[in-house]
Amino acid sequence: MKGEETEVELIKEGKRLDGRGFEELRHIKIDVGVLKRADGSCYFELGDNKVIAAVYGPREMHPRHAQDAKMAVVKFRYNMAPFSTDDRKRPGPDRRSIEISKVSREALDPVIMREYYPKMAIEVYAELLQSDAGTRTAGINAASVALADAGIPMRDLVSSVAVGKIDGEMVLDLNAMEDNHGEADMPVAMIARTNTITALQMDGRLTKEEFERGLKLAMGACHQIYELQRTALIERYSKSENKKEEE
Ligand code: CDP
């Protein structure tokens, strides 16, 4: 739970400490199909966050008693590398990563056409190589592109970003300094094209007006991220088409 007061000054002369405006995203880089062994993969950078998502499947679900006779089961594993944080992170799952895995799976679930693959499993991994707040949103963005790269039938892509409150102002896409010393943090995931929210969490307190303003900021940013995800996928597949033609 966030503190009520900010003890560190996070906004100076109308700018955030990293020089961004209130409504500005960190830089984003997306590479599709970076892993040879996975059915689909994506490397995603959001500022200093670096994540690789890998998708395997649809493949047979084990253990068999966990199969769903009507649709595929989606498994999501969010994991932080020990070297991804300032202090070495103890390897293996903890409460936080179990929660983020669940939330991320639920954020993606509405777009995956699970009914096409009864009794099968679709496995999604989000491996954090470097973290600087907003890792769950980076993981969801990467996983969404990796699922598409794996050829999993999807209704659409999911895009995700966090908004928050620092020094009394609603701002987009908090970095770690802002997340640690800010007053509220609200990660949002959505299907940008239809403005459908698939996940929303909140740490800290916001007024109704701040919440509405934050949601509007997040929605605008998700549209930007959606375009970048789409472009990355189109580029990847137009490249492989060109390669085929050359052969
Ligand atoms: O990363 P996200 O904002 O989705 O989740 P969080 O739980 O709000 O974590 C915020 C940030 O705290 C992470 O991105 C990391 O930079 C940092 N963190 C860390 O350094 N060590 C951990 N064990 C957990 C989080």
Write out the DSSP string of 12-42: ETTEETTS--TT-PPPEEEEE---SSSSEEE
pTM of the model: 0.96
Res 223 pLDDT > 90: yes
- Give percent above pLDDT 90 in the chain: 93
Determine the average pLDDT of the residues in 82-87.
95
Determine the average pLDDT of the residues in 215-220.
98
- Give percent above pLDDT 70 in the chain: 95
pLDDT tens for 228-244 read: 999 999 999 997 677 66
Residue nearest to atom 18 of ligand 1 (CA): 85
**Ligand 1 pocket, 4 CB below 6 A?**
no
Give all domains of the chain, ordered by start, each with its CATH number.
18-239 (3.30.230.70)
Res 96 pLDDT > 70: yes
Closest ligand 1 atom to 49 CA? 14
Mean pLDDT of the chain: 95
Q: What is the predicted pLDDT for the residue at 247?
A: 61
Residue nearest to atom 13 of ligand 1 (CA): 133
**Is residue 118 packed enough to be buried (19+ CB in 10 Å), middle (13-18) or exposed (0-12)?**
middle
Closest to 138 measured CA to CA, from 28, 214, 19: 28
Continuous segment of H or E residues that includes residue 80: strand 73-80
Rg of the chain taking only CA atoms, in angstroms: 18
- How many angstroms does the Cα of residue 3 sit away from the middle of ligand 1? 16
